[in-house]
Amino acid sequence: MKIQLAIDDLTLEEAITLVTVIEKEIDVIEIGTPLVYQEGMRAVTTMKKRFPKKEVLADLKIMDAGYYEAKMAFQAGADYVTVLGVTDDLTIEGCLRAGKEMGKQIVVDMICVKELEKRIERLETLGVSMLAVHVGTDQQAEGRRPIDDLKLMKRCCRLAEISVAGGLSLDTVSEYAQLQPQILIVGGGLTHAKDPGETAKGIRKKIKEWE
């Protein structure tokens, strides 16, 4: 299982400092949507240049102009780009075409998808090979947890790999790791940890117990 660091509410400089500390314990650096708003593709390019051995995900949450926007992120250095599962199939197909041309990967973010089982079946038919369980911060505030969506998606997925996000931390990661998603996404659990280095080591140790 891979650990993906989601960087949302840090500056680019703060993010670079954090990644430098925990680089050995993470696999994917996610340029979160708020950081994309702040810095644009510069954040993607900068991270890829500073940490070339790490995979970089641009969390664009594409909703339209799939081919154009996905290709822009890939050209900036992203290895993965996200598109929303609630968008039109044509947009997702455009993203997939850009990914195929560039030899990169599209991740479909399933936030706010109502009929998960039906939508997963359709997405896999389109050729999607990575799906992201995502319970947003607003939904988490109302008590919703991504573990339920993860269990459902594990049952439904025939081909696609799964990543999971939504409040994962040192205290909760084991609960998710035992369900064997391919990628565990940790945001505030690392970006706001008192000791990010030790916390990252702890998360990695707990994940290894389920590998």
pLDDT digits (tens, 9 = 90+) for 122-140: 999 999 999 999 987 788 7
The 3 state secondary structure assigned to 25-49 is HCCEEEECHHHHHHHCHHHHHHHHH
Indicate if the pLDDT at residue 59 is higher than 90.
yes
Give per-residue pLDDT as tens, 90-130: 999 999 999 999 999 999 999 999 999 999 999 999 999 99
**Residue 157 scores a pLDDT above 80:** yes
How many beta carbons lie within 10 A of that of residue 89, not counting itself?
A: 12
Cα–Cα distance, 148 to 23 (Å, whole number): 30
pLDDT at 136: 78
For the chain, list the domains and their CATH numbers: 2-208 (3.20.20.70)
| 179-194 pLDDT tens trace | 999 999 999 999 999 9
What pLDDT sits at residue 141?
80
| 57 close to 78: Cβ distance less than 8 angstroms | yes
- Smallest CA-to-CA distance from 7 within 73, 59, 81, 62 is with 59
**Mean of all residue pLDDT scores within the chain:** 96
